[in-house]
Amino acid sequence: MNVNQQAHMASPYRQPQPALQGYSQPGYGEPPTQYAPYNGPNPGYQQGPAPAGYFPYSSLPSKALPATLASDLSSNSSSPLDLGPVRPSPNSGPPPMLTPQGYSQYTQGDVQNGPPTMSGQPHRPPVSQPYLPGSQPAYHQHYGAPHTGMQQMTNQMSGMHVSAPPPAVSGYAPSSHPQTSVSFSGVPSFSVSSQQNSPAASLTHGQPPSQPPFPGSPPLSQSPFPGVPPPGSQAQYSSTPPLPVSQPQYSSTPPLPVSQPQYASTPPLPVSQLQYSSAPPASSQAHYPGAQPPPASQAQFSGSSQTSPFHAPSSSFAPPAGAPRHPGVQPMQALPHSQYLSGPPRQPMQGPPLSQQNHVAPGPPQPGMAPGMQGPSAQPAPPGQGQGVHPHQNGAFGQMSGPQPGYGGSYPGPQNYGAQPPPPAAPPQKRLDPDSIPSPQVSELPAVQKTRHRIDPDAIPSPIQVIEDDQANRSSEPFTTGVRGQAPPLVTTNFQVKDQGNASPSYIRCTSYNFPCTSDMAKQSQVPLAAVIKPLATLPLDEVPPYIVDHGETGPIRCNRCKAYMCPFMQFIEGGRRFQCGFCSCVTEVPPHYFQHLDHTGKRVDCYDRPELSMGTCEFTATVDYCKNNKIPQPPAFIFLIDVSYNAVKSGLVDLICAELKTLLDYLPRESSEADSCIRVGFVTYNKVLHFYNVKSSLAQPQMMVVSDVADMFVPLLDGFLVNVNESRAVINSLLDQIPEMFADTRETETVFAPVIQAGLEALKAADCAGKLFIFHSSLPIAEAPGKLKNREDKKLVGTDKEKTLFQPQTSFFGNLAKECVAQGCCVDLFLFPNQYVDVATLGVVPSQTGGSVYKYTCFQVPSDGDRFLNDLRRDVQKQVGFDAVMRVRTSTGIRATDFFGAFYMSNTTDVELAGLDCDKAVTVEFRHDDKLSEESGALMQCAVLYTSCSGQRRLRVHNLSVNCCTQLADLYRNCDTDTLINFFAKYAYRSILNSPTKTVRDALINQSAQILSCYRKNCASPSSAGQLILPECMKLLPVYLNCVLKSDVLQPGADISLDDRAYLRQLVTSMDVAESHVFFYPRLLPLQKLDVEGDTLPTAVRDSEERLSKGGLYLLENGLHLFLWVGANVQQELLQSVFNTPSFGQIDPSMTNLPELDNPYSRRLRAIIENFRAQRPRYMKLMVVKQDDKLEPIFKHFLVEDKSTSGGASYVDFLCHMHKEIRQLLS
């Protein structure tokens, strides 16, 4: 149910089902017909299913494909069901590909599997092979189809693909989908995940093989196969007659290997998952119903289908596919589980004990048990799934085994069987069945209750699983950007990028890599089309920064009409004399100095010598025409403006800043080619009045100039205010020594703020340069001056319609000031050290509109926050930054960038003006259709950022990205990036609360998400019971992440969160990139008990839920802003000793912000991890040690986002149920 994601999965299921049908049901007839060949296998089906996966691939694949990938779609479009047509093509194409891969994968898979379930796996391979011959044809076709579509994808996603195919299946699903729905219930996904876990490393491979099976309904089975690894399941299989059957499947699976390659080739997996979920349930069930075995299988299917969905997300990759799906399914599963649980809940659980997702396990066993057919197929899958515990439900069972194991799977086992059987009679019944099973869903209240009671958190899609799978599958191979529309690995995955014509995902990530061709489709799906662009992102060390291109005096070559810059999308024609713009199709003459001949393919001969023609990202040197006032810019300046009022002095802040600046000034950003930074620096201190300092090198001592006329700010000096650090070092040092002394006895408590910015602005104006202001500010500016603020903190407004005013600035003054700043290229970074309300919403206006950052250190004390502040400051000062930037996003005809989110200012609708742009700032851009897109040309976007480098050079950085366009919604759903989507949603919502009541915003978010998912359900998933939650593989984490956004402090404040904090977070999120927003909303929680102290691998994260914490454990949690070390009450003394140097829990000092440096491997490793974490984030995270049951623990628990929060935020499970309800309402 929950799992929906994989409508596609369903299809696979279907396939299996079909197979099943073939076996039993007439209804299958059709499919069977198509499948017929399958059927053949089917009989062997149980095997078949699994094998079906493989062979079916050929046939099923078509389905799978439709669901999953484009290829699939094609087939689907015609009729997913029309496996036949699809199959052929796909088969032909992909199969070969797949096969080889498959084999390789297989081997791997086998290996993996092997370990887990020796018997099972062994069986498989052999079996599979045999199967291949037998059933392959059919499957292959199916798979083939998908593969063809996905070939590339497959390569990437082999694992995923597997699952994908299932989605494809979903495509198939139409027929079988019903079953897929079942599959949701199918825990299989879990199993898959578990599998993944277990074989993790090998999983990828293993999965792939299994995946292939998945693609077809078989995928499930396959997954099961891979899942099989779960010894348990497999064992079961083996043990149970089904096993034999399954074996046949396995045998079929062997084909899988073959097919696997396909899978590999076809990333469809994810899709497949979808399919699984969707398709499998209904159809499969239906079919199954027809045949007794089917029922079982249905059950399984359901499970499997689910699994498949799960796979999509989690295991999207190969074997894990099964498992991954499961995770994905999990949410669904929850429900399913419940169902399952109700039925054979635990058993399944137990069954797959290996994998938590017992479901799977159980599934498999049962499946195996139940229908011979299913049994085999299912079993194999189940086993695998079983391992992937959660996945189990998903689809592992559902999908593959779903039919087989799923049903057979202990899960539904009885019930399913029971239920399904009845359905067999009629597909609808099947649907009903699933519903009945998920009864909770059916009857809301009960459902909820049940879910609450019964939904196993492990049965719903697990972010951890998805992340791990992606990491496992996609980190090994570099991601090459040469092909249009490839979805990159997740942000959490470490992978290398090879720029072959599209910008690296480090620079641009899209919500979808397959844009709908028409606005109708876009509207229908409600999937936002957006890109998160981080123009100056820092690349990993092993990647080359953008090449700098100089086109000479006339500046960069551009399209005459739309002014797009030369890029790989420009088509050279007429022998190279002209080029046609990829964006507007205008033909432009090539300037003589740029002329080059074309080769026989129409490419310029020098294509690979010119970065702008061969790379997705490059940088042009701009000519004077691109400079403000047509003047080469001056090198930028940094101005440090330090609050020296009583509070700041007393807290030790002033001392700290001055001491730090002395060394920090040596590390100003510079061009890599230069020895010294060109950046000039200036200093201002202020309280009620401003003090400028003349630090000219010729002076014996610094001169202080006090400007008291804050009402009409001006800069009192020019020469000597902005100086070169090296030349004026002595004077600067003397100044920094004296500032703390001078104000040591100050009694001034009032401060001004706006004049401080004005001062910096005027200074930059006077010096005629761009620059950055670093303002260190402590209190609400209440002194008489422009921009004076009142304390307006009023918690009574929270939750009312007036709440939005709290996020709006008090006066429009700062908005106007920001405009001026932007005009001058004056970027403002604000460091706040408040002891009480400072009105961040107002103070942050200028930073947030000038591309600056706000840092906030509440109740700053040097001992506890000094490190954090200094590290932030260091990084902020040192990081690469551009000034006076203008960004424009050009797109190919048909879409248009319509909305922008981030820290910038826009004076018109197209130009994003950033006074400063640093390497951490991301801009989210939303696109809308203004015309049709075509599948052939895809959609192109070019983001050009004109900026002044830190040496004062004017540069143009150009990022190009092309994405595919689709006419099938399924393709859209198959290529989404949930993390990016969440980034967009968060930014959108955080901006909306400026104008709408928070509740409205929250509801809108939920509503849109529900629409997205229901659209998927309606259009891509196979028809299934409304009681099933079917999630697209790529979006199976959407609910959990969305819930995190909804319950974030900004949208759902707790009683203890201040308005300032909310405003602060709101502004912070606005310029976050995907990686940051991801960890911000779903913190990373690492268990530390079993730390690999020698290696550099990190322990697998656990989900953000309290129940994952063990009393005997240590856990590290980070969200990009905070870092917690949670210490369980029962942690072993040795561990405490080696970490804290104290044997007793009670003696741990909760106020420490850094771990003691102890000379033992554990401590060293732990500190290394912490350092590593800190290094990954743009802001330094202070370590907080939280002892279990200590008074600080609530703070920590606040970040366990899967749990119910004290502020009223729903738990993951509850929210999933809620979403499901919403979706069902939409569907009905």
Partner 1 sequence: MATYQEFIQQNEDRDGVRFSWNVWPSSRLEATRMVVPLSCLFTPMKERPDLPPVQYEPVLCSRPTCKAVLNPLCQVDYRAKLWACNFCFQRNPFPPAYAGISEGNQPAELMPQFSTIEYIVQRGPQTPLIFLYVVDICLEEEDLQALKESLQMSLSLLPPNALVGLITFGRMVQVHELSCEGISKSYVFRGTKDLSAKQIQEMLGLTKPAAPIQQGRPAQPQDHSFSSRFLQPVHKIDMNLTDLLSELQRDPWPVPQGKRPLRSTGIALSIAVGLLEGTLPNTGARVMLFTGGPPTQGPGMVVGDELKTPIRSWHDIEKDNAKHLKKATKYYEALASRSAVNGHCIDIYACALDQTGLLEMKCCSNLTGGHIVMGDSFNTSLFKQTFQRVFSKDYNGEFRMAFGGELEVKTSRELKISGAIGPCVSLNAKGPCVSETELGLGGTSQWKICGINQFTTLGMYFEVVNQHNAPVPQGSRGAIQFITQYQHSSTQKRIRVTTVARNWADAQSQIQHIEAAFDQEAAAVLMARLGVFRAESEEGPDVLRWLDRQLIRLCQKFGQFHKDDPNSFRLSESFSLYPQFMFHLRRSPFLQVFNNSPDESSYYRHHFVRQDLTQSLIMIQPILYSYSFYGPPEPVLLDSSSILPDRILLMDTFFQLVIYHGETIAQWRKAGYQEMTEYENFKQLLQAPLDDAQEILQTRFPMPRYVDTEHGGSQARFLLSKVNPSQTHNNLYAWGQETGAPILTDDVSLQVFMDHLKKLAVSSAS
Binding region for partner 1 (CB under 8 A): 689, 691-692, 696, 699-709, 712, 714, 716-720, 734-735, 738, 741-742
Nearer residue to partner 1 within complex by CB, 701 or 812: 701
Cβ neighbourhood burial of 494 (10 Å; 0-12, 13-18, 19+): exposed
Nearer residue to partner 1 within complex by CB, 659 or 699: 699
Say how far apart CA 391 and CA 403 lie, in whole Å: 15
What's the closest the beta carbon of residue 692 comes to partner 1, in angstroms? 7
What's the closest the beta carbon of residue 713 comes to partner 1, in angstroms? 9
What's the closest the beta carbon of residue 735 comes to partner 1, in angstroms? 7
What's the closest the beta carbon of residue 651 comes to partner 1, in angstroms? 23
What's the closest the beta carbon of residue 726 comes to partner 1, in angstroms? 20
Q: How far is CA 744 from its chain centroid?
A: 49
Nearer residue to partner 1 within complex by CB, 567 or 715: 715
Q: Which tokens hold the place of 637?
A: 């300046």
What's the closest the beta carbon of residue 502 comes to partner 1, in angstroms? 48
Nearer residue to partner 1 within complex by CB, 541 or 700: 700
Q: Which tokens hold the place of 831?
A: 């460091």
Give strand pairing partners of 773: 639, 828
What's the closest the beta carbon of residue 747 comes to partner 1, in angstroms? 9
What's the closest the beta carbon of residue 645 comes to partner 1, in angstroms? 14
What's the closest the beta carbon of residue 783 comes to partner 1, in angstroms? 12
What's the closest the beta carbon of residue 1183 comes to partner 1, in angstroms? 39
Nearer residue to partner 1 within complex by CB, 426 or 717: 717
Helices 269-278 and 60-67: crossing angle in degrees, nearest 10, is 100
What's the closest the beta carbon of residue 694 comes to partner 1, in angstroms? 8
Q: How far is CA 608 from its chain centroid?
A: 32
Nearer residue to partner 1 within complex by CB, 703 or 1110: 703
Give strand pairing partners of 642: 685, 776
Q: Are 200 and 333 in contact (CB under 8 A)?
A: no
Burial 562-597 (b: 16+ CB within 10 A, else e): bebbbbbbbebeeebeebbbbbbeebbebeeebebe
Nearer residue to partner 1 within complex by CB, 747 or 1191: 747
DSSP string, 876-925: HHHS-EEEEEEEEEEE-TTEEEEEEESS-B-SSSSEEEEEEEETT--EEE
DSSP string, 1077-1097: HHHHHS-EEEE-TT--SSS-P
What's the closest the beta carbon of residue 700 comes to partner 1, in angstroms? 7
Q: Are 328 and 976 in contact (CB under 8 A)?
A: no
Nearer residue to partner 1 within complex by CB, 425 or 704: 704
What's the closest the beta carbon of residue 811 comes to partner 1, in angstroms? 23
What's the closest the beta carbon of residue 707 comes to partner 1, in angstroms? 5
Specify the DSSP element, H or E, that contains 61: helix 60-67
Say how far apart CA 821 and CA 817 lie, in whole Å: 6
Nearer residue to partner 1 within complex by CB, 332 or 739: 739
Say how far apart CA 1193 and CA 1187 lie, in whole Å: 7
What's the closest the beta carbon of residue 696 comes to partner 1, in angstroms? 8
Nearer residue to partner 1 within complex by CB, 782 or 1195: 782
Say how far apart CA 183 and CA 278 lie, in whole Å: 7
Nearer residue to partner 1 within complex by CB, 746 or 808: 746
Whose tokens are 């479901």? That residue is 359
The C-alpha angle 493, 499, 500, rounded to 5 degrees, equals 130
Q: Are 143 and 58 in contact (CB under 8 A)?
A: yes
Nearer residue to partner 1 within complex by CB, 601 or 630: 630
State the virtual CA torsion across 318, 212, 16, 428 in degrees, nearest 10: 60
Nearer residue to partner 1 within complex by CB, 707 or 1127: 707
Nearer residue to partner 1 within complex by CB, 715 or 1102: 715
Nearer residue to partner 1 within complex by CB, 547 or 714: 714
SS3 labels along 171-222? HHHHHHCHHHHHHHHCEHHHHHHHHHHCCHHHHHHHHHHHCCCCCCCHHHHH
**Edge-to-edge strands, sheet with 587-589:** 571-573, 578-580, 587-589
What's the closest the beta carbon of residue 718 comes to partner 1, in angstroms? 5
What's the closest the beta carbon of residue 705 comes to partner 1, in angstroms? 5
Q: Which tokens hold the place of 883?
A: 């000034």
For 931, phi and psi rounded to 5 degrees? -170, -170
Say how far apart CA 590 and CA 577 lie, in whole Å: 5
Q: Are 7 and 1022 in contact (CB under 8 A)?
A: yes
What's the closest the beta carbon of residue 999 comes to partner 1, in angstroms? 48
Say how far apart CA 669 and CA 1007 lie, in whole Å: 45
The three-state secondary structure class of 376 is helix
Nearer residue to partner 1 within complex by CB, 500 or 734: 734
Give strand pairing partners of 690: 686, 707
Say how far apart CA 199 and CA 330 lie, in whole Å: 19
Q: Are 893 and 585 in contact (CB under 8 A)?
A: yes
Whose tokens are 């070390």? That residue is 1125
For 913, phi and psi rounded to 5 degrees? -100, 125
C-alpha distance across the termini of the chain, in Å: 16
Nearer residue to partner 1 within complex by CB, 27 or 702: 702
Nearer residue to partner 1 within complex by CB, 788 or 1078: 788
